[in-house]
A and B are shown apart, each in its own frame.
Chain A
Amino acid sequence: MKNNKKFSCLTGCVLAIGMLFSCDKFLAEDPRAVLSPENFFNSDVEVKAAVNGVYAALYTDGLYRQHGINHALGYGADDLEPTRSGDGALNDICNYTLSEARGARGREVWISFYKMIQDANVALAKLENNERISTQYKSQATGELLFLRAFAYYNLTNIFGDVPYYRENLSIDEVQVLERHNKNLIRNDLIADLQIAQDALPGNYQTSELGRASKWAAATLAVKILLWQERWVEARDKSVEIIVGSPHRLLAHYGDVFKLANAYNDELIWCIDFVRDINPQGFTSIFVPRLSDEPKVSSQRPALRAALEARNEGFTGNGLAAPMLGFVEDFPRDDLRRPHNIVENYLGFDLNYPYMPKMWNLDQINSPRGNHGDNFIVFRLADVYLMAAEAENEANGPDQAYQYVNKIRERAYAPEKPLHGLSQQHFRQAIYDERRWELAAEFHRRMDLIRWGILVDVVKNTKTRTYNPAENIMPHHVLFPIPEEEILLNPNLLTTDPTNNGYR
């Protein structure tokens, strides 16, 4: 038993040594390569990184890199359709077979915008009363964050209607149970936020910062929301403020607006920046034809290929996005914008399908397949002119509205064909058309039609090549369903509207 005692004693010693060993200190994690949000936001540079992070969310496939958002904004209207039928998201929006389970990439949009909202909320909360940030930068950062958050909510309310809404850095437990909030209340908040942003933001940026939201981007977004809220006078005033006060101007030639070489031209108010090789986008490829579809006489394919190669060009896209049949038929032949929106013959070869050159880029050196650096144009001045015209017409009739629409038509016709002598209703109709030609496939169209309340009518009366959406479209299709997966995760999303926008 002597040994027993010794054993216990020794075991005790070993264990005691073990205990003496400062375990808590030994076990403390040493996350040398992990950045904690707790210790961030201490300098202008750090805050700028957080602001940049909110911009970076715009690059997701579900938003702009692969055009996910344009299932909701671009297709399903009267300007674009695929050249061939398929299945999946594009089919569901173009053919209006939308359902809760088939939400046409709606969930990706939802995910990306809420990511922006949450990141912006955290950064805004960290900025508040933060003495370590310079006053000047704090103002700009606040402006950018408010703008980006407003842009997210603006799109969410357009696409889904009422949506969960929060503006503070709340805990996950609080946010994950939020119900849908009235879209009009949200939009009114956004208009106020955007005024703060416009006041805080600079009017322009130095070259290395182009792509950030300026005060004019904030103002343009405000105009768009004001139109939704039919606050016509404010909308007109704000758009005139942009036309008069901003450094932006219309380019002389319509086609120049969209050229890769002409990125950040004077007409553009806000773009999302893509860069070949390092931040490439894939959506341009959707507009680039694929050689196996072309030309009309297939035996001429080698010749077409050779002709393209001689120009360092290629039909290397998938050619899915093409002008809609009705769009091709309706587009005025004498409109100088037509060849930029519709091409039916290229380099002397008749094509099987029409394509939209302003959105494509055939340059195989600077914009190869799936590796395009062409920016996504969100807002440009022509849109503001047309919004000014629309707002003025709605507020006071056409008399003072012609100046804005005719400014756009100046470069669209030679000789000029200014509008004049229209009734308010005819002017309204003229704006509907003018926006269709001027802003075709720039992903304003579907929301315009919804805002005007004519989406269902227009879809039913526009000729299509591939699908038959006229047969399927229903009044509730003006909104996307709240994504099914989100309802499963947060059943409170059904509290205010058990029908889920009419989809159940």
Chain B
Amino acid sequence: MTRRIYYLLVLGLLFANLALAQQQTRISGKITDDQGQQLEGATISASRSGHVTLSSGDGTFSLDITKGEELSFSLVGYQTVKMVYEGQQPLEVQLMPEHYNLDEVVVVGYGTMRKEKMTGAVGSVKGRDLENIPSPRVDQSLQGRVTGVNITQVDGTPGAPSVIRIRGGNSIQGSNDPLFVIDGFIVGSDFNLNNLNTNDIQSIDILKDATAIAIYGTRGANGVILITTKSGVGKAMGQSTVAFNTYYGIQYLNNKVEFLDGYQHAAYANEDAEFRGTTLPFINPDAVPNVNWVDLITRDAPIANADLSVSGRSSEGKISYYISGNYFNQLGIIESSGIKRYGFRSNLNIDLSDKLKIGWNMNLSRLNRDNTKVNFSALLRQAALTNRAVYDDEGRYTYENPVSTVVTRNPKADIDLKVDHDLVTNLFGSLFLEYELFDNVTFKSSFGPKLNYLKVNQYNPGLLPQNLVINIGGDGGIITNSSIELLNENLITYVPVLGEDHELDVLGGFTWQTYQAENSRAFGYGFPNDVLQYNSLANGSNPIRNEIGSDWDSWQLVSWLGRANYQLKGKYLFTLVGRVDGSSRFSGSDNAYGFFPSAAVAWRLGEERFIKDLDVFNNLKLRMSYGSAGSQAIPSYRSLALLSDVTAYFNDIPQYAVQNGRPFNNNLKWETTNQFDAGLEATFFGNRLGFELDYYDKLTKDLLLNVQIPRQTGFESKLQNLGSIRNRGLELKINSTNVSRPNFEWHSVLTLSGNRTKVLNLGGVDFIDVVSPTTGPGGRIIVGQPVPVFVGVEYLGTWKSQAEIDASGQSGQQQVGGPRFKDTDGDGVLTLNDFEVLGSAQPDFIGGIQNTFIYKNFTLDVFVQGTYGNEIYNTLTQTAFFGRPESNKYRETLNRWTPDNPNSNIPRAGAVATLGSVYSNSEMVEDGSHIRLKTVQLSYNLRAEELGIKRVKDIGVYFSGNNLLLISKFRLFDPEVSSYGQDNIAAGFSAGEYPYGRTLTFGIKATF
């Protein structure tokens, strides 16, 4: 790989430096945009002679020039192209629209479109916003930049995915993740974005409304994220550019949780025992250890990245290429975690003739991920008790919690000794062939694989204190998963010439896709020593405990799709889209095929004379769409009954056994989302101010729900199509160029979105409990409410007197200084009937504001992002605030109730005998609203030419800071977490997740 890049690099340098005879020739050429539209009025200037000309109405020009002279092509609203004239004739130059121009091109499903001609709602992120984000994945960089898209990181683990919800979640049991499409290749909604080098990405377009997503049929309902990688198409002919880019940064632990220190905790635990009349855990509370475990297992962690790419076009423009190599290495803030990537990309387009084009896009990556060895939330809660010593007197890792004396993992030992890493090798991409069958009719066929191989290696040494104490030896295992996905798409486009007032393009296609995955796992136990680890599982000396397993998964899809865009007089736009999908998942039923149609209209008001006459708008467009998209929502084989394998034991010998796993249902069908969208786009003041406003209303019906059935049937639930959910929302995006002077520019982009989810029907039940992280359900889906809501009893502070307890009528063990909860129904006992809705993870608004200041060669980007009105459920509060002496306590419990501090609303030590009495309650629900200074970047670009550096086109340096400041009231590290990961509906829970870093980076970019 490296050698290939080297050759290309040499080649590129040769092209750039050929000094040829200085002989003036008259050249002619043509300037077009990326859509092939001829551009009028572009300036063409020659560097040495100073000759200048403008392109005419058909985009053509002619100019006298010397070989080797540099030509510059510029036009307002387009990126300037410079190239060295090497004798090409005629010169064909494409100018790409500028970032801040509204006339931009957006990628839509199976094609591209000018934004002005769109009838649907699509959000785009391009250029610098995607560059050099200090993360292995691109999803976080979309946060706050596109309206209607709510992106929440789950935790700070290097490479951790984000939860992405486009216009709210449609499904309860099914996936709500959007579909990812990379260079036209459908990679699915569970694609591991770590495989993609973020610096290979040219643009990201997010399809939101019904007509935009309907072309993806059954997989479009959650929105579609189209990622386009860089290519050589549109580059100046005969030139190649070598770009080198590197950054290095340090991540610092951002916020800390304040706990009682070791002495304070010992005092708490003794106070607890004293009150409950049990023996004191600490005979001398002043002589206990005092350990800051979080400091001990975290570090200032480096992050580094280097890319090298070569891109360009052959001298006749027949071959365009982009090749890149990437190395990324991020160490985690928690010791011994991190992710490394080696990436390679090759995009190639070859025009074999005027009619036939072929090419490929290929991405190859290798990930090496060190998984987090500690359970961070368990550590905060109990394992890393501040008065637990790391080592005992003899220097061995301690193995128990000093208060409960229960054997508890030692986080430091986990960090030092455990082995746990993932190795991923991933290849995806497609080969394509495009043939112009007749004038205006093009056939395109593409075929591509997605191959993924995952291996997980794990080993827990016998030296881990919890293993050592029972002398059980080490244990280790491996997991492998290899999958292959194939996609073939066959498309015909027809763009007839219909005269001035009519524009039509029609697309039809047939596609099929298959997926097959095999996985296996093997675990061995009782390793007599820790030498061979997972490399030789046969060393596990306890064969009866050894585990083996394997599994198989597969699915297939076939689809027919069609789309027609019609434009009348450049003002009235119409779109019709339809897709028929057939899915293997429903092949056991009569509903294997689903049809998802949609339609849209738009009216370019700005083109009407009466608006033009107002001389206010540069662009004004109204658009509306309605249609449906589907979701398969279920994994493979779910319509089939199955026997699950279990094990029975006779005289300690395992025997094979089966149980009825789940009932069959051959009436299953797709979930369907019908969506209405109305949008208004306007720009004013010479395109200096633009805004885009969208309203949408989505109704998802036939929700695939595992409906609880009476357990007397022997089954827990049966999968059925029941229930519906509605999402409505408003999205606003404002672009403005506040200042535009020759030496100073200031641009701003503001996004603001609000989504309201409401459960309309749950198939006959009033609610479904989602998760119960504390006592009683904490997350619930309730008809009439968002998904999910936090439920529990209301915390009213402490009992202040016995009289207060007696007057309340509450029975059970209520004591003065103990926690008081609201007995909502007044029956004297706290039960689930007293549960109320306490909040929801759904923000009222999310948004972001980007400001870009350009002064001469300096650029300053400042990006702020935030949410407002969401709550977060903090499960750590159950132990850290309410009780149990074996768990860490918030620092605020210093001010707990004591006979001397009788007005405190923090429960007294010992009042909570069992956590079972601390129901899910309002103290656990906190305000999740926050504002984050997400990015500040200062860059300095210098034209190498100006510095007299030869062979170098551009050099830029930058400093950037990520996640610099967080304004939030949340007790733990960061409110932007999800302890249930990407779980569909259990959003907004926190148990103390892997913390985030504040990242400072320094980078250099250079092109040659």
Contact = CB atoms under 8 A, between A and B. Distances in A.
Interface of A: 3-4, 6-7, 10-11, 14-15, 17-18, 21, 23-24, 26-38, 40, 48-50, 52-57, 84-88, 97, 99, 101-102, 107, 110-111, 114-115, 117-119, 122, 163-164, 172, 175-176, 178, 205, 207-212, 263-264, 273-275, 277-279, 290-293, 298-299, 301, 316, 352, 364-365, 368-369, 373, 485-486, 488-490
* Chain B, interface residues (CB within 8 Å), range: 35 or more
B654 A279 contact: yes
A37 B660 contact: yes
Nearest to B646: A56
Given A34-B642, A275-B649, A486-B711, 13 more contacts: A3-B439, A6-B438, A14-B490, A15-B508, A23-B558, A26-B558, A56-B648, A87-B913, A88-B917, A97-B811, A114-B713, A114-B714, A172-B713
| Closest CB pairs A-B (n = 3) | A118-B714, A52-B657, A52-B648
Given A4-B496, A86-B914, A209-B651, A52 B510 contact: no
A273 B713 contact: no
B558 A87 contact: no
Contacts of B647: 52, 56, 278-279
Nearest to A207: B651
Nearest to A45: B656
Interface in B625-647: 636-637, 640-647
25 contacts: A3-B439, A14-B508, A26-B512, A37-B641, A49-B658, A52-B648, A52-B655, A56-B646, A56-B648, A86-B917, A88-B917, A97-B829, A107-B711, A175-B713, A209-B651, A273-B649, A273-B650, A278-B545, A279-B654, A292-B278, A292-B405, A299-B283, A301-B279, A316-B407, A486-B710
Interface in B933-947: none
A278 B654 contact: yes
A40 B407 contact: no
B215 to A, nearest CB: 16
A56 B553 CA distance: 27
B492 to A, nearest CB: 6
Interface of B: 278-281, 283, 403-407, 437-441, 443, 470-471, 490, 492, 494, 496, 506, 508-510, 512, 525, 542, 544-545, 550-556, 558, 560, 582-585, 587-588, 592, 636-637, 640-660, 663, 708-716, 718, 765, 811-813, 829, 831-833, 913-914, 916-917
B279 A52 contact: no
Nearest to A483: B711
Contact of B279 (A57, A111, A298): A298
A178 B508 contact: no
Given A34-B637, A277-B542, A114 B711 contact: yes
B832 to A, nearest CB: 6
Nearest to B511: A18
A490 B278 contact: no
A32 B490 CA distance: 30
A55 B588 contact: no
Contacts of A275: 544, 649, 652, 654
A428 B650 CA distance: 38
A307 to B, nearest CB: 16
Given A56-B646, A87-B917, A208 B813 contact: no
A23 B407 CA distance: 57
B525 A178 contact: no
Given A37-B642, A84-B913, A212 B650 contact: yes
Contacts of B556: 26-27
B579 to A, nearest CB: 12
A118 B640 contact: no
Determine which residue in B404, B645, B650 has the highest number of CB atoms from chain A within 10 A of its CB, and name it: B650
Contacts of A85: 813, 913
B508 A86 contact: no
A275 B832 CA distance: 37
A33 B660 contact: no
A80 to B, nearest CB: 18
A24 B655 contact: no
Contacts of B584: 27-30
Contact of A27 (B281, B492, B582, B833): B582
Nearest to A170: B713
Contacts of A32: 552, 554
Nearest to A165: B712
B986 to A, nearest CB: 20
Given A27-B587, A172-B709, A279-B649, A88 B914 contact: yes
B496 A119 contact: no
Contacts of A35: 642-645, 658
Contacts of B642: 31, 34-37
